[in-house]
Amino acid sequence: MNDTIDRAAAWAWDFFQSDSTGHDYHHTKRVASRAVRLAREEEADAGICALAAWLHDIADDKFYHTKGEGAEDVVSFLRSEQLSTESIQAIMEIIDTVSYKGGFNRDPETLEGQIVRDADRLDALGAVGTARTFMFAGAHNSSMHRPGDPLERELDQHAYERRDGSAVQHFYEKLFKLKEGISTASGRREALVLENRMTVFLEWFFEEWEQKAD
């Protein structure tokens, strides 16, 4: 399976090397590395976790004009690698439950699915998650911060997908909610540290934003 993982990583490089939304190759590499580490700590199938992690964003509908096109490409790749039907089904099941989707996505049914989802969510937290948030906002012409707007809004899935909030709102509408959805013990310990870094950043951010004359 190692050769297949290497080819999946190469595909991710080709697919994401020019991305400017925060879903770049390095995000995928971090998710894959973290997924393998969590799999070893949680005694899960590290190979399945690695493949699902490397391919999870390649299959994501947000990068295609046609729904399901990415998933079909990933299945074709896995079949060309002569993986078993059971392995392909396991990987695609994981990929289908990774995305946050405003909190409306279904939960993973396997430990491997929980691990890959945890790895992806952990990369949305901390210093890197903070940088990715502002990168994503810039790529979608969103504001950095709009004083007076509620920091947290009640959103349905359609409203969440419109991405009409500011970067700062994103912390409250998504990022600070992620810790509660971390499934593995190893992931929860890491999430506590990373969430604290975002909290400290926002304290500094609001202090610097509200500059007032003496």
Q: State the sign of the Cα–Cα–Cα–Cα dihedral 75, 78, 80, 82.
A: negative
d(CA 196, CA 151): 18
Helix H or strand E segment including 48? helix 46-55
Query: For the whole model, what pTM was predicted?
Result: 0.92
Compute the radius of gyration of the chain from its Cα atoms: 18
- pLDDT confidence of residue 100: 85
Mean pLDDT of the chain: 93
Average pLDDT of span 112-129: 97
- pLDDT confidence of residue 161: 65
Query: pLDDT tens across 15-55, in order?
Result: 999 999 999 999 999 999 999 999 999 999 999 999 999 99
- pLDDT confidence of residue 163: 66
173 pLDDT exceeds 80?
A: yes
* Residue 136 Ramachandran class (φ > 0 left, ψ -120 to 50 alpha, else beta): alpha
Banded model confidence at residue 210, pLDDT cuts 50, 70, 90: confident
Banded model confidence at residue 152, pLDDT cuts 50, 70, 90: confident
Is residue 153 a contact partner of residue 169, using CB atoms and an 8 Å limit? yes
- pLDDT confidence of residue 44: 97
In percent, the amount of the chain with pLDDT more than 90 equals: 80
Average pLDDT of span 62-82: 94
List the domains of the chain with CATH numbers: 2-209 (1.10.3210.50)
